[in-house]
Every structure is written in C-alpha cells, then in structure tokens.
Structure 1
Amino acid sequence: MDAPDPEREGRPKPSRLQLVLPAKPLASGFAVAVGVLLAIALAATVAGISTVLISIFLGMFLALGLDPSVRAFERRGMSRAAGVTIVAVIFLLVVAVILLLLVPATVRQISAAIEAAPETIAAVQQSGWYLSLEASLGIDLSAVIAEGIRSLTTLSSFLAISGGVLKAGFGVIGAVSSFVMVVVLTLYFVSSLQSIKAAAAQLVPLYRRARFTEVLEEITRSVGGVVAGGVTLSAINALVVFVIQLAVGSSVPAVMAIIAFFVTLVPMIGSLVFLIIGGVATLFVSPTAAVVFVVAYLVYIQVEAYIVTPRIMGKAAAVPGVLVIIGAMVGATLLGLLGALVAIPLTASMLIVIRKVWIPRQNSRTEPPGDETVR
C-alpha cells in the first residue's frame, strides 16, 4: 500500500463551485457557442436537403423490397447479376404501366368528377339522408355550402388559389424529379446491395465482423420481407377496392384504388382508415352504395387479416401489434405517411438487434462488473 503524501494532505480541498466551473471560462464558452452554431448549421443543412435524403431512404427501402425477388432467382440457380437484371426490367415495366395506363385514367376520372361536381352536389342535397340530416341539425346546410362557394370566388381567394396553383405546379415538377431519382436509386441499390453490405462490414473491427455480418444479413432479409409483403398486400387491397368501386357505380374507381394503395401500406391502421375514407366517398354515389362498400370491404379486411396476411408475411419479422401502432404514430408525426411506412421496417430492425445482440449480451453477464456486490 502506498504511503500517504503529506503535501497532498496539506492542500485544501477544492470547493464544489471550483469543481463545476471550467478552468478557462472564456475559451469554454466560446467552444460551446461554436458547437451550438455548428449544430444549428447542420440542422439547417439537413432540412435543406431533406428531399434528397427522403429519396435516398425511399430508394434503399424499395431496393430491400426487391431483394427477396433477386434471392428467389438465385435459389433457382441464376447468378445475382442475372437476377438483378430480371428484377430491374420487371420493376421498370411496372413503372411504365403505372405511368402509361394508371396516371391518364386517374387524370380523366378526376377531371370528370370536377365537371360533374355541381350535379353531384345537387343530387346529394335532394337525397333523403341529406334532408334528414339537415332537419335533425336545424341548419340550412345548402346555404352554408353556397356561402362557402361565394367566399372562394372573391378576388383575394382567387389570388390565394392562383398562388397555390403556382406552388402546386412547382411541387408537381419536384415530385416528378424525385420520382425519377427514386427509380434510379432503387436500381442502383439493388445492383450494389452486396457491395454496400461488404463495405459496411469493413467499418467494424475484425473480431466483431462475422457477428455484424450475420445480424446485417438478417436485418436486410427481414426488412426486405416486410417491405415486399406490405407492397403486395397494398396492391391486392387496391385491386379489391377498384372492383368494389366499379360494382357500386363510382365514377373514380382508379383514384380510390390509388388512395387505398398508399393508405393501406401502413399495417393494421391503414385498412381501417381507408374504410372511413371509402365509405364517405361512396356516400356521394348513394347511401346504399356506401353500405355495400363498407360491408364488402369489412369482409375483405377479415379475409386479409386471417388468410392473406399470414401467407404473405409469414416469413417476415413478426412485429407486435402495439409496436406497429406506436411506430406508425411516431413516424406519421415526424414525416407524415412516409414516416409511418418507414417506421415499421425500422421497428423490425431494432427488434432483431435487441434479440440478436442486446439480449445475448445481457444473458452472458452472470456477475456484476468490477467489485460491485449484488444487493
């Protein structure tokens, strides 16, 4: 045991204030101020390139969703290059079909719905359920609607709408460019996914590289299965909605199918949300059509939950329902619909990391660290 130092014992102990205050307050304050400014600049930079970052993340998730198809071709004896080529061609064909068939049909249906809007509103105002609702509320709903239309036709409203249309035009141009960027990034990520994973593994120490590669492979398989399964379920859902809307006489079945596709990409919540959207929209056809749609779509929701989803998502990572809801709510709050979509694969990835890394590490700790004793 070392002998006590008399000089150290004779020194007065520093006060608590001296321990807290820095030795060079001016330099420390300047460093803190510079750090705050750099953090603000970084946040502003990220906000400025948010569209690019969103396109990159979306392209990566779509690539992970296409990767299971590439793996399926590899299991059949094809090389990865051949599988990537086939998947890329199919992906481009699907994009071309959407652009050449679905988009023009959607534009025509929206234009027809706008032209028929006055007649549709008049028919709704003369329907029995509308008159009953107006009588029960004691409000002249027709006068309220007419006043709203008059307020929209004023000069100030026209200027505001014109500015909004101009912004919408620039928004459409930005959306088209982002769409092209996402398609290009998706094809690039699909073709170079293996090299990207190998490069990521090189950043990990050698003694941890094998374990990291194993966890990374499972994460990519799981996320790819979740993304591919979710897109497949949404496509089936959109097809069912299109058929039901045609059956009930809707004038915008393609529009409703597109809305259903994007809304139902969010598991569990999306179908219920679109049930309300579709029911209200079909109410403009007739109350009977709305009832038929709600009943038919409820039947499909049950079939999807108990038959379709287990067959498609059976091999993907099982995410508890409560985590799906919480993740979708948090993601939607931060980034809207895109955040809700990305939250589910991220939740599955975190569950894999917890199950493969955190829990085994905790189970290996049978004794407290250092000289601590179990209390």
Structure 2
Amino acid sequence: MNEDTDRGRTEDRHTPDGAEHGHTDLVAQPHTPDEGGPIISAEAAAARASTTQNPLGKPGRRFDPRSPFMVGMAGAAGVAVTYGAIQAVIAASQVLVLIVVALFLAIGLEPVVSWLVRPWFPRWAAVAAVFVIAIGLLAGFLAVAIPPLVTQGSALVHNAPDYVDHLAQRYPLINTLNTHFHLQDRARQGLGSDPSKLAGGVLGAGRLVFSIVSGTVIVAVLTGYFMANFVQVRASIYRLFPRSRRPRAILIGDEIFVKVGGYILGNLAISVITAVLTFIWLLTFDVPYALLLAVLVGVLDLIPIVGSTLAGTIVALVALTVSLPVSVATIIFFIVLRLLEDYLLVPRIIGRTVRVPPVVTVVAVLLGGALLGIVGALLAIPVAAAVLLIISETVLPSLDER
C-alpha cells in the first residue's frame, strides 16, 4: 500500500502541470523545504485549487475598473499611448505626406481605371495602361521642357540685377523703391559669386533635387500599388465599419471617392489649359522666359485662390521689362483668365462634383497650407468637401432628431 502510494506520488510529482502538488519538476529544482513555509503552504493551496475543469485554478475576483488605482492607470496609459502616437506621427510626417499624396493620386486616377475595365480588359491591364500613359506623358514633357527651363531659369537668375537696374531707369516708382530698399544690391548679394556661398548653394540644390527625385519615385511607386489594389483597399476600409452601418458607409465613402477623383482630374486639366493660354499670350508679346513662366503659372494654379493671383503678379512683373502697356495688358489677361476659370472651366470640368462654400474654401486652404505647406493647400478642398459631406449626412441629421 505504501509502495503504491509512493509510486503514485512520484508519478504525480513528475506530472508537468503539478495538479496535486502545486509544483512541477520542470521549474525551480531542487524543490526543498528551505524555500519557506509560506511558499509550501501556497503550493498546497494551489494543488487543492487545481481541478480537472480548471487545471490552473478558478479566476479570482475581477479588478474594479472604477477603483482609483484602475482609473489612474487607465488615464496614465491613455496619455502615454496618445503621446507616443503623436511623436510617431511627427517622426514619420514626411513619409505620411508621401503616402497621402499617393493615395489621393490613386483616387484621382480611379475613375479612368474603372472606365477602362471591361470583361476582356482586366483591372491590372487598365492600371498598367493608365500608369504607363501618365508616366510617358510626364517623361515626355520633362524631356522636352527641362533644357529650355534650365536655360531660361539660369538666364533669369543671372540677369535679375540688370533687370532691376533697367526697370529703375525706366520707371520712377521702381527707382524710388530701389533707392529706399536697395533692391539691386540685394539681388546681387543673393545671387553673388562668393565661392563659399556658391558651394553651399550647389550642395543645397543637390539635396533639393535628390529629395524631389526620391519623393517623386516613392509617390509613383505607391500610387501604382494603390491603383492596383484599390478594390482591396476599399473593401478593407469598409470592413472597419459594423455590419449594420456598412451599407451607409459604402454610399458615403464612394461619394467621397468620386468627389476627390473629380476634383484632382479637373484641377489638373484646368491648370494645363491655363498654362497653355499663358504660354501663347507671352509668346505673342515677346515676354522673356515664356515657357518657364507658363510652367510656373500651371503649377501655382493648382493652389486654390492664391495660386493664380501670385502667378499673375510674377508674370506681370516680368512683362514690365518689355513695356508698361504689355504689363498692364498681362494683368488684364490674368483677370479675364481668372474669371474664365471660375465661371466657365470649373463649372464645366469639375461641375458639381465638389461643392464647397467660398468661406470654407478659404479657411481650408489657409489651414492646409499652415499644416502641410503646398501639399496641404492642394488637398485642402477635396478634404473639406469630404468633411462637409460626412457632417451633412451623419452629424446634422442626428442633431435634428434630438
């Protein structure tokens, strides 16, 4: 009897879960009474608590979530997580901006991709066709435009002090400004030939070019991935909503995609038209650096409200080197062009896809520019349109029912 009992205890002692002894041979060997009475008594209690239904014992009483300790811990954890998330966003802000730009470009090109998809023309082929055509057009434009742009840009930088002197001699007002503010001296200092400044300028330009090229490549690659997997991305976003709210989320979300896509494509088309008209105007009146200024107008016109005004001011100042009547005529041309854009091009190209009140447009552009610079100003209007749609479809109806 004693041998059977001892054999059973020996077998139980070697049982990994320690169901009868509260201690397993796989942990803390050798197991001796020297560990202390409190531990041995706790192990005996653990052996009694271990049952077949609950090998590791029954769960104890739950912590009171409303206790001061738990409330304090939850508050401290929330603050720590929030602070860590903010620091992570700040550290990855540049990468996040590139991701957002690529996502917006993919949404903007999605209407074209969806229009091309047919039973005999799969999505991957449509994405490849749109991507290749877009890259080809951009590469062709850069190949044709970069040499004259570089030539005209270098000439403008080199001749800027002489232009200031020329304008000061012809126009008394500019001469007065030059006398008071030393515009010509400031231009020569800013564009001087000091070797140390020149080296620093070359290094800075090299860093800028590398940053632009690398950012462009990253955005192009991400845009291709988003375009190719947009169906899965869209489905993943809608899966985040509860099943009862998912149909409503799909209706609102698709409407947002349509607004963003229509605005991006329409804004690009309007900027191209504006640049072409400006180039024709400058060639007609022999304004120098016509291509450089036309490209500048097209880029600045992408920025709502302030872009076209700033572009018109720069072009009018350059046109002043030809004659005062040409400069005045250029100002009138940009005023007419702005009216043409606001009342003809925007309604017909963008239409009613994006309807944002003027006050909201101004505020959105200012906030977007302050937060993310030019990228924020470019994306401000579609983001504002999406926010207004969400508020009008979700927040306002619930407030009206209360």
Identify which of 213, 222, 245 aligns with 1:185: 222
1:120 partnered with 2:163: yes
Q: 1:209 and 2:252 equivalent?
A: no
The one of 262, 265, 269 equivalent to 1:228 is: 265
Following TM superposition, by how much is the alpha carbon of 1:115 offset from its aligned partner in structure 2, in angstroms?
3.6
Which residue does 1:306 correspond to in 2?
A: 343
- In the comparison of the two structures, how many residue pairs are matched? 336
CA RMSD of superposed structures (Å): 3.1
**Contact 2:262–2:350, Cα closer than 8 Å, also in 1:** yes
Classify 1:296/1:97 alpha carbon distance in 2 versus 1 (closer, same or farther; 3 Å).
Answer: same
Superposition pairs for residues 1-375 of structure 1, below 5 Å? 23=68, 28=72, 32=76, 39-74=82-117, 79-127=122-170, 129=171, 131-134=172-175, 140=179, 144-145=182-183, 147-148=185-186, 159=196, 162-363=199-400, 365=401
Residues 326 and 75 of structure 1, relative CA distance in 2, 3 Å threshold: farther
Report which stretch shifted further, 303-312 or 71-80.
71-80
Contact preservation (8 Å) 1:74, 1:83: yes
Amino acid at match of 1:98: F
Seen in structure 2, the aligned counterparts of structure 1 residues 76 and 106 have a Cα distance that, compared at 3 Å, is farther
1:166-194 Cα shifts (integer Å, max 9, x gaps): 23321211111001111111122122111
Q: Secondary structure at the match of 2:245?
A: helix
Structure 1 stretch 82-91 or stretch 183-192: which is displaced more?
82-91
Contact kept in structure 1, 2:108 and 2:261, CA below 8 Å: yes
Residues 219 and 120 from structure 1, CA distance in 2 versus in 1: closer, same or farther, beyond 3 angstroms? same
- What is the Cα deviation at residue 292 of structure 1? 1.8
Contact map agreement 1:248 1:293 (CA 8 A) in 2: no
Q: What amino acid sits opposite 2:364 in the alignment? A: G
Question: Which amino acid is 1:172 matched to?
Answer: V
TM-score (norm 2): 0.74
Letter in 2 for 1:289: V
Superposed CA deviations along residues 26-46 of structure 1, whole A, max 9, x for unmatched, are x949974x7656555544432
C-alpha contact (below 8 Å) 2:167/2:175 kept by paired residues: no
**Structure 1 residue identity aligned to 2:182:** V
Moved more, 337-346 or 45-54: 45-54
Q: Any conservation in 1 of the 2:368–2:380 contact (CA below 8 Å)?
A: yes
Give the deviation of 1:61 after TM superposition: 0.9
Shift of residue 323, structure 1, vs aligned partner: 1.0
C-alpha distance in 2 between matches for 1:148 and 1:294: 26
State the distance in 1 between where 2:373 and 2:75 align.
36
Q: Which has the higher contact order (CA 8 A, sep 6+)?
A: 1
What amino acid is aligned across from residue 302 of structure 2 in structure 1?
L
Shift of 1:111: 1.7
Name the TM-score, length of structure 1 as normaliser.
0.79
d(CA) in 2 for partners of 1:94 and 1:261? 16
Contact 1:248 1:289 in 2 (8 A): yes
Amino acid at match of 1:313: I
Q: Which amino acid in structure 2 is aligned with residue 140 of structure 1? A: T
Structure 1 residue 80: Cα displacement: 3.4
Q: Matched residues in 1 for 2:357 and 2:115: separation?
A: 27
| Structure 1 residues 215 and 163: CA distance shift in structure 2, 3 A | same
Which structure 2 segments of 5+ residues have no match? Answer: 1-66
Cα pair distance change 1:344/1:76, threshold 3 Å:
farther
When Rg is computed on C-alpha atoms for both structures, the one with the higher figure is 2
Report the secondary structure of 1:111's partner residue.
helix
Q: Which runs of 5+ in 1 are unaligned?
A: 1-21, 369-375
Instruction: Please tell me the residue identity of whatever aligns with 2:238.
Output: A
